[in-house]
Amino acid sequence: MKYTTLYESHKTLGAKFVDFSGWQMPLYYTSIIEEAKATRSNVGVFDVSHMARFLINSPSLDFLDILFTNDPRKLGVGKAQYTLLCNERGGIIDDTILMNLDNTRFLLIANACNRYKVLNWLKLYSKNETIEDITESTSSIAIQGPKAEGLAERIFDVELSKLKRFYIFGLDNLIISRTGYTGEDGFEIFTSSNMIFSLWEKAISLGGVPCGLGARDILRLEAGYCLYGNELSEDIDPITSGLERFVKLDNRNFIGSERIRELVINGTKERLVWFRMQDKVIPRKGDDIRYNGMKAGRVTSGGYSPKFDVGIGMGYVESEIAKEGNIVEVVIRNSPRIGIISKR
């Protein structure tokens, strides 16, 4: 079991822990729902040190161009990009955030569950590039919510109002990126592990509400963000999963691009949809989705949404029925319950 630098602090805060990809992480401190609400209305702080961090040194454009689905030419210094690694079949190896620190160093944030797979994949294609796994020498927290800017400005004593979404800002031994996984405005902070504790303590003392992975999952589900292992896998391509806007095919030839081009032209069998239930009944991963009484798909993530006060979920359904407004039935404990495919 791995522990983040903040583990003792989580314990002191009364966290209930969960094993997440081999990391002992806080599931919640007081209440998953209250933490999710605090992030929507105020500001939540999350330990996200379990996520994999790689420093790619001196990558050639070819290296980035062959590996990533989003266009590395658009990734100027100080920018961040949501981008995918795919296999030859167009299946998603991981969904990541790539940041251009200074044209010679790029920081890649990958999912904890895919850490070694991604590391090996990068090494497989590297020539002059060196790939440094800095996951354990560094730490990361997310500051998320409508009051994230004010809180981050007070923590770091810098003005952040001009830092746009998907841009990064470097301080001494510290990177602030305006990114997140909650559907709220917010920042993710990357720094050396010996600096994280004081930042975390400061964030909380200035009013940041500590939030666990439970709230993080609800927030991302409300926002319709994919979770690797639920919505995404090596057998799912970016078109089926609705991530086409992070795939730039023009004049490019990255791993998987040939297959993805075919899928764009011919269409995919299934599409990812987001749906809400009529009441608080909660869809769960693996539940069947029916349309007109026939099985038409399956739930990949489900949960209760404090924002909408009903059950919500995501799932794959046959492409023909993947339309906003379509009424489906989600089979929850053998009983079909009404859900509506919608745009969140």
Partner 1 sequence: MVPEELKYTDTHEWLRIDGEYGIVGVTQYGFEKLGDVVYVELPDVGSKVKQGEAFGVIESVKAAVDLIAPISGTVEEVNESAKKSPENLPKDPYGESWLIKVRIENPSEIEKLLTNNAYEELIKE
Site for partner 1, rule CB under 8 A? 16, 27-28, 31-34, 214, 218, 279-282, 284, 303-304, 311, 333
The Cα–Cα gap between 285 and 292 comes to 21
- Can you tell me whether residue 234 is helix, strand or coil? coil
CB of 221 to partner 1, least distance (A): 11
Tokens of 19: 């094993």
Contacts for 133 with CB less than 8 Å, ≥ 6 apart = 52, 53, 54, 115, 119
Pairing of strands 209-211, 44-47: parallel
The conformational region for residue 177 under phi > 0 = left, psi -120 to 50 = alpha, else beta, is beta
Nearer to partner 1, 333 or 343 (CB): 333
The conformational region for residue 286 under phi > 0 = left, psi -120 to 50 = alpha, else beta, is left
CB of 233 to partner 1, least distance (A): 23
Nearer to partner 1, 106 or 225 (CB): 225
Nearer to partner 1, 72 or 311 (CB): 311
Nearer to partner 1, 214 or 242 (CB): 214
CB of 336 to partner 1, least distance (A): 14
Contacts for 293 with CB less than 8 Å, ≥ 6 apart = 329
The Cα–Cα gap between 267 and 272 comes to 13
Contact 202, 189 (CB under 8 A): no
Amino acid at residue number 267: G
Nearer to partner 1, 59 or 311 (CB): 311
CB of 230 to partner 1, least distance (A): 15
CB of 288 to partner 1, least distance (A): 15
CB of 87 to partner 1, least distance (A): 33
Nearer to partner 1, 242 or 303 (CB): 303
